[in-house]
Structure 1
């Protein structure tokens, strides 16, 4: 129980979320007790929502996951916290793997991220006009579709897997606690 209570210290309160500028617009709905209740279903759904938005969107993950958790009556702190699956440390590997997955699924094995011109070549080619070098826009477009497809696959698969794993882990934990309470 110490492990769980340690992490409860970092969960924002309703009042903190109601005052924060990114989630202030959710204040009328944040008073619902069910959104803060720690049950198997609400936590699993909240974490699945957070993982989904954490993989799918590079910006506004936390407000969107909180709004979706309110609509679906999931645990708001679990939804907001699990968006941190993509953070400054994991961002690059996740996006590279998503691009590789999307390239494999769409058949765009062409322009790899390593084939981008070096920063010096970009600045030299753009000159004083500020115009991008020729071919840069084609590189960006070639990365776009595979990256979007890969992120969508990661978001859906990650959300479903998170819901299943949290539900299974919760169920196993409850079974273990009941087993330990039984007299031998």
Structure 2
């Protein structure tokens, strides 16, 4: 079996169908919105929107980003499954890498010294944000700077994802069209050559 088919079959096997989502008791109140066919089609407008929302959701919150991406896809008319899939840019394996990158970006933009953040971190750790402090402490980074870095990554990453996927979509469509036209020209040439004999 070719790798492309194997990958597509594996994705289809583990992706819930629209019917399964309609039967889900938690999605039942809003299933009619999620299951509209326009949100499941791959079009030149829905794909870049889905990629942008997936990247934004993946960076903006560390937990529950799939649900955020799916809910944001509704008013934006973006591709729901693609926006949910792209959120996996941040996962438990890649999170430490992205946390360090976000910290460096935040520190660069804010020109923030590590010693300055200590008092604010202590105040946040004593309140309702303690879970967030513990989440970021595992990566060994300053929380406030890193959160700002993730916000920057979310906005810039979404913009880059939108533009890149839009150009990739146009390139793929143009390549397929060029290939199809070449095949049609070959068929026409073969047809004319046979009729002249």
Name the TM-score, length of structure 1 as normaliser. Answer: 0.76
Q: How many residues align?
A: 164
**1:43-81 CA deviation, whole Å, 9 max, x = no partner?**
111111011010110112111110110111111000111
Whether the 8 Å contact between 2:39 and 2:80 is mirrored in structure 1 is yes
Q: Which residue of 2 aligns with 1:30?
A: 34
Larger Rg: 2
Q: Which residue of 2 aligns with 1:84?
A: 88
Inter-partner Cα distance in structure 1 for 2:103 and 2:172: 36
Whether the 8 Å contact between 1:17 and 1:23 is mirrored in structure 2 is yes
Segment of structure 1 superposing worse, 47-56 or 143-152: 143-152
Highest relative contact order (Cα 8 Å, sep 6+), 1 or 2? 1
SS at match of 1:89: coil
Q: Which structure: greater helix fraction?
A: 2
Inter-partner Cα distance in structure 2 for 1:61 and 1:22: 17
Inter-partner Cα distance in structure 2 for 1:136 and 1:167: 40
Q: Which residue of 1 aligns with 2:122?
A: 137
Whether the 8 Å contact between 1:53 and 1:65 is mirrored in structure 2 is yes
Name the TM-score, length of structure 2 as normaliser. Answer: 0.71
Inter-partner Cα distance in structure 2 for 1:136 and 1:33: 46
* RMSD after superposition: 2.9
**Pairs within 5 Å for 1:5-20:** 5-6=8-9, 7-20=11-24
Inter-partner Cα distance in structure 2 for 1:16 and 1:30: 12
Inter-partner Cα distance in structure 2 for 1:96 and 1:24: 39
Does 1:101 find its partner at 2:110? no
Inter-partner Cα distance in structure 1 for 2:165 and 2:45: 9
Whether the 8 Å contact between 1:40 and 1:167 is mirrored in structure 2 is yes
Uncovered stretches (5+) of structure 1, i.e. residues with no partner: 117-133
Whether the 8 Å contact between 1:30 and 1:70 is mirrored in structure 2 is yes
